[in-house]
Amino acid sequence: MSLLLLLLIAVPLGAALALLLLPRAVGEHLAPSVGVAASALTLGVALLTLAARPWSTGTPVLELDAPWIPAIGARLHLVLDGVSTPLVLLTAGLGLAVTLLTAREAPSGGSVRSLVVCLLVVEGGALATFTASDLLLFFVAFEVVLVPMWAVIRWWGDAHEPGVRHDAAARFVLYTALGSAVMLAGLLLVTLRAGSSDIVALTAAHGAGMGRTTQVVAAVLLVGGLAVKVPIWPLHTWLAPAHTAAPTVGSVLLAGVLLKMGTYGLVRVVVPVVPEGFAAVAPTLAVLGVVGILWGGLACLVERDLKRLVAFSSVAHMGFVALGIASGTPQGLQGALFANVAHGVITGLLFVVAGGLKDRFASARLADIGGGLRDRSPRLGGLLALGCVAGLGLPGLAGFWGEILAVYGSWRDGVFWKTLAVLAVVGTALAAAYLLRVLRAVWHGESDQPVGRDATGVELAVTLPLVALTVVLGLVPWLLLRLTEPTVQHLLGLGRGAV
């Protein structure tokens, strides 16, 4: 059973390596089908891990442990628990989605084989990050996605402006490399002071063995490093160019998988490992999260490019996640994890639609797309409308529960937290305003723009599961909440209790 964890990582990475070593002609020919097969197999493995019932306990249900670098005490230690399971499923699902999209309509810019290799490596690296239970292994896995994602933006990005996409790729890789290097300093500090790099052991110790100063310094380094990836205002400036320049598959992975690695890191290696230090950093993180919510919302109100708009809305949504985590309450953390997954699903959906529109109109500017999409291409228009209303947090859809819980969790004693919660609610109003603005500009009205091709089969095949997930998570949120609840209690060092 524990071998499933190994398969989860070995299947996408192994398939990528095999593709890379095949002769060129064969590799190019086989790449689309190998990519789809490998990611489908990975999704199958991810679903099989549910048989271990990760919702039943707060401690890992699957565990794989082998020596790796004894000299520095690092181990190949993989675990699966209630917090990693939803992200593993999300990653595997989006991995299948992007390989399907590539197989049917590969973006121009280079060989299909190289693109599939990059996508599979990103998937494998993310899965390793979400299951790693050793600080140093976590770091290596965290870094694995960097080069392939850089390549995806640099070569398969926006075909019209090579200079822009080169800049965006360079900015992405340098910002995130800076973030990871800062995080590495924090991870090493924890490892050296606590005498262990094992996350399970460090979580159980709950900060014992580290003085307050050490904890605060480590928390500053870790949160500072991870904040680049999340991204948290004001470290978000790489996000919009990267999303705008990236091809659809890159945007989907960026929003649905890479950003999640940042928030997952906060929940996995900061909150339980240096609790005292995190408590000291949390108010700052909460303020920055709320600034991100408002900043992202205001930027979206004036943004003219649909892809940039979705990117800025990501900053706002991740602000809610940061606020929920910073609240330090079980409700806030649960809400953050829910919002995390909901954002992956909804933004994934929005990026498929926005990317599709950009392919059709050679621009993602709202003015270029023109109005009346519901008449011109009803299916794409409908998908866009659903993504928007889910994004603005309409009750009954996935976007609602995470953000309401994050705000509820941060409604703590004292003016400080209450003010933040109120401001966050203002942010949801902003979200409603900007997403309705998009609907008015693109979905409603009429336009003399030519009628674009409506959603293709593969676009529907990729988006309909996301739509279904949006609705299901909105109607039966306890599916996900029950899954994360015991682990959240464990991470916060609390006994089992009701949400």
Partner 1 sequence: MSPGVQGVDWLAIGPVLGPAVAALLALAVDAVVGARRTRLVDAIAVAGLLVGLVLLVPQGGASTFCSAPGRCSYVVSSLTLSLQAVVLAAALVCLLLAVGLRDRLPRTELHLLVLIATAGACALAAARDYATLAVALETASLPLVALVALRRDGRGAEAGLKLLMTSVVSFGLLALGIAMVYASTGSLYLGQPVATALGDLRAAHGVGLALVVAGAAFKLSLVPFHLWTPDTYAGAPLPVAAFLSTVSKVAGLSAVVLVLAVGAPERAGDWAAPVGVLAAVTMTVGNLVALRQRTAVRLLAWSTVAQAGWVVLPLAGAVTASRVTSAVSASVGYLLAYVVATLAAFAVVVRVAESHPDGARHPLTAYSGLWRRRPALALVLGFALLCLAGLPPGVMGVVAKIVAIAPVVGVNAYGLVAVAVLNVVLGVAVYLRWAAALVAPGEASSTTGTTPVAHRMALALSAGGCVALSVLPQLVAGVLARVPLR
The whole-angstrom separation of Cα 277 and Cα 208 is: 12
Least distance from C-beta 454 to partner 1, angstroms? 34
Least distance from C-beta 237 to partner 1, angstroms? 15
Least distance from C-beta 214 to partner 1, angstroms? 9
Of the pair 113, 260, the CB lying nearest partner 1 is at 113
The whole-angstrom separation of Cα 66 and Cα 60 is: 16
- Taking a C-beta distance cutoff of 8 angstroms, is the pair 120, 13 a contact? yes
What crossing angle do the helices spanning 146-156 and 112-131 adopt, rounded to 10°?
A: 150
Least distance from C-beta 72 to partner 1, angstroms? 5
Of the pair 181, 432, the CB lying nearest partner 1 is at 181
Least distance from C-beta 255 to partner 1, angstroms? 22
Least distance from C-beta 402 to partner 1, angstroms? 31
Of the pair 66, 498, the CB lying nearest partner 1 is at 66
Would you give the DSSP letter of residue 110?
S
Least distance from C-beta 7 to partner 1, angstroms? 19
Of the pair 270, 380, the CB lying nearest partner 1 is at 270
Phi/psi at 365 (5° precision): -70, 140
Q: Three-state DSSP class for 75?
A: strand
Of the pair 22, 394, the CB lying nearest partner 1 is at 22
The whole-angstrom separation of Cα 128 and Cα 122 is: 10
Number of H helices, E strands in the chain: 22, 2
Contact residues for partner 1 (CB under 8 A)? 20, 24, 68-72, 74, 110, 114, 121, 125, 136, 139-140, 143-144, 146-147, 150-151, 154-155, 170, 173-174, 177-178, 181-182, 184-185, 188-189, 191-192, 217
Of the pair 75, 374, the CB lying nearest partner 1 is at 75
Identify the sign of the CA torsion 105, 109, 113, 119.
Answer: negative
Least distance from C-beta 231 to partner 1, angstroms? 16
- The string over 189-202, giving b where at least 16 C-beta atoms fall within 10 Å of a residue's C-beta and e elsewhere, is bbbebbebbbbbeb
CA 274 to chain centre: 23
Q: Which residues pair with 63 in a beta bridge?
A: 79
Least distance from C-beta 151 to partner 1, angstroms? 7
The whole-angstrom separation of Cα 441 and Cα 333 is: 36
- Taking a C-beta distance cutoff of 8 angstroms, is the pair 315, 296 a contact? yes
Q: Three-state DSSP class for 452?
A: coil
Of the pair 136, 293, the CB lying nearest partner 1 is at 136
Least distance from C-beta 342 to partner 1, angstroms? 30
Least distance from C-beta 154 to partner 1, angstroms? 7
Q: Interior CA angle at 389 toward 387 and 392, to 5°? A: 105
Least distance from C-beta 111 to partner 1, angstroms? 9
The whole-angstrom separation of Cα 35 and Cα 359 is: 22
What contacts 498, CB < 8 A, 6 or more positions away?
none
Of the pair 184, 306, the CB lying nearest partner 1 is at 184
What contacts 140, CB < 8 A, 6 or more positions away?
none
Q: Three-state DSSP class for 76?
A: strand
The whole-angstrom separation of Cα 408 and Cα 392 is: 17
Nearest to 107 by CA among 11, 304, 245: 245
Name the CA radius of gyration of the chain, rounded.
21
Of the pair 177, 492, the CB lying nearest partner 1 is at 177
Q: Which two tokens stand for residue 208?
A: 């014992």
Of the pair 217, 291, the CB lying nearest partner 1 is at 217
Of the pair 88, 149, the CB lying nearest partner 1 is at 149
The whole-angstrom separation of Cα 257 and Cα 183 is: 19
Of the pair 20, 458, the CB lying nearest partner 1 is at 20
Nearest to 455 by CA among 366, 364, 384: 384
Q: Which two tokens stand for residue 231?
A: 């991204």
Q: Interior CA angle at 287 toward 142 and 296, to 5°? A: 75
